Amino acid sequence: MKLIVQGIECYYNSVKVLDNVSFTVSGGSFFGVIGPNGSGKTTLLRTISGVLRPKIGSVLIDNQEIHTLKKVEVAKKVGVVPQNPSSTLNFTVLDVVLMGRNPYLGRMESEDADDLSIAEWAMKLTSTFHLADRHIDELSGGERQRVIIARALAQRPKVLLLDEPTLHLDINHQLEIMELLRRLCSEQKLAVIAVLHDFNLAARYCDSLAIMSQGRITAIGPCERVLTSRNIEEAFGVRVVIKRHPVTGFLYATPLSKGGKNHPTRKFKVHLICGGGSGGYLMRELVEEGFRLTAGVLNVIDSDYETAEALGVPAICEAPFSPITDENHQENLKMIMAADIVLIADMPFGYMNLKNLEAALEAQKAGKRIVIVAGQPSRSRDYTGGRAKAILERLKEQGAIIVKNEKEAIKIVKSLER
């Protein structure tokens, strides 16, 4: 089974709300749609479900143009779980799920044993069968959402559309719903298309993603290609850092406070020596405070490099798993000499980044002020046989300011500015 959306354009009166939208989703795939409010996500679902007819383009399921079919035939192919389902407060769970059989019934026809069997199948699939005799208004939010999904499944569709299915649910119910949708893809071979608002849930459960902005798809494809800092900033106007979780292996997005970028409002310039994630907090806070910030030398696979890139912090970069070259060392020294203060994060030092400490020592000789974050003893972060420890001790002896944590470092930087 394939759902093909071909170049659709839709309008509300004279306002274009979808502009040349195209993609294909096969049975067994979970396709997520993310984007800011008003970007056209819900309109896209309404068009796929046949409620809204595109002015240009087409929607095909198994090579059948959906807008040429009768509504009852569309309902046999496409199940919809809306964001705000119509009230069903006076009905039992079984009654609600049986509503999904309406496309298969004649005008005066009642459900038969086959319809009851299919409703039972849908409830068991969604773990709601034990709720069959309960009134739906007695259920929790997660239980109600599973019942609405069961109602859609009772239509025996090939495509399942969901508009923000985890909205207003707490985390355990969010995971419960997303696990169910993932299972429907793999076991029932449904094509699931869901509008989602949580980047991290989308990255964890979707096979592919589309980002929508102003009625257009601005990025589409596998999660790794779509969920990038640049794509998210372009669509949402928010700066994020995208990383892969060390335990789960899934991508996750961390918003940067205020969506800030390196647009300095202060004249005071700070050069940050960091690595291995030790500089993330310092970079974010210094940028938010409006300091002119530079960093280096950082390996391009380092998480601190990713943070610097996301924040727009100028940095001297080195190739992955490579020692600092003389050329990059000299470039780093130029940055340091242009700074008012050098801040050394609480980081480990090995032979590959030892030149960063040597650069700090040269800066101190030239009269630069040095602040060292020393949350751990020098010896515990020295992997150079004592060379790094010796430089750190020398920096201290020659007047470097020692602080215990990043917050103290920020306070010191502010005080030195005055």
> Residue 376 maps to which CATH number?
3.40.50.720
Least confident range of 107-111, 160-164, 333-337, 347-351: 107-111
What pLDDT score does 262 carry? 58
pLDDT level of residue 233 (50, 70, 90 thresholds) = confident
**Mean of all residue pLDDT scores within the chain:** 91
pTM: 0.72
- CA–CA gap between residue 296 and residue 294 (Å, rounded): 7
> Does the pLDDT of residue 261 top 60, yes or no?
no
Does residue 252 or residue 31 have the better pLDDT? Answer: 31
Paired tokens of 149: 């999904």
Which of 226, 254, 282 lies at the terminal end of a domain, its last residue? 254
Domains identified in the chain, total number = 2
**Mean pLDDT, residues 140-147:** 90
Tell whether 169 and 288 lie within a shared domain: no
The β-bridge partners of 380 are none
Which of 197, 225, 254 lies at the terminal end of a domain, its last residue? 254
Tell whether 16 and 85 lie within a shared domain: yes
> Does the pLDDT of residue 64 top 90, yes or no?
yes
User: Helix, strand, or coil here: 289?
Assistant: coil
Tell whether 378 and 404 lie within a shared domain: yes
> Does the pLDDT of residue 260 top 80, yes or no?
no
* E-strand stretches of 177-266: 191-195, 208-213, 216-222, 240-244, 251-255
> Does the pLDDT of residue 210 top 80, yes or no?
yes
Does residue 307 or residue 179 have the better pLDDT? Answer: 179
Percent of the chain past pLDDT 70, that is, above it, reads 97
Which of 254, 269, 290 lies at the terminal end of a domain, its last residue? 254
> Does the pLDDT of residue 359 top 70, yes or no?
yes
Q: How far is CA 77 from CA 7, 46, 95, 269, in A?
A: 21, 14, 21, 61
Tell whether 82 and 109 lie within a shared domain: yes
What pLDDT score does 259 carry? 45
> Does the pLDDT of residue 266 top 90, yes or no?
no
What pLDDT score does 366 carry? 94
pLDDT in tens, 114-142: 999 999 999 999 999 999 999 998 888 88
Tell whether 18 and 139 lie within a shared domain: yes
Tell whether 98 and 169 lie within a shared domain: yes
**Mean pLDDT, residues 366-384:** 86
What pLDDT score does 403 carry? 94
User: Helix, strand, or coil here: 316?
Assistant: strand
What pLDDT score does 302 carry? 83
pLDDT in tens, 65-114: 999 999 999 999 999 999 877 666 689 999 999 999 999 998 888 889 99
pLDDT in tens, 37-60: 999 999 999 999 999 999 999 999
Domain containing 241: what range?
2-254
- CA–CA gap between residue 234 and residue 259 (Å, rounded): 12
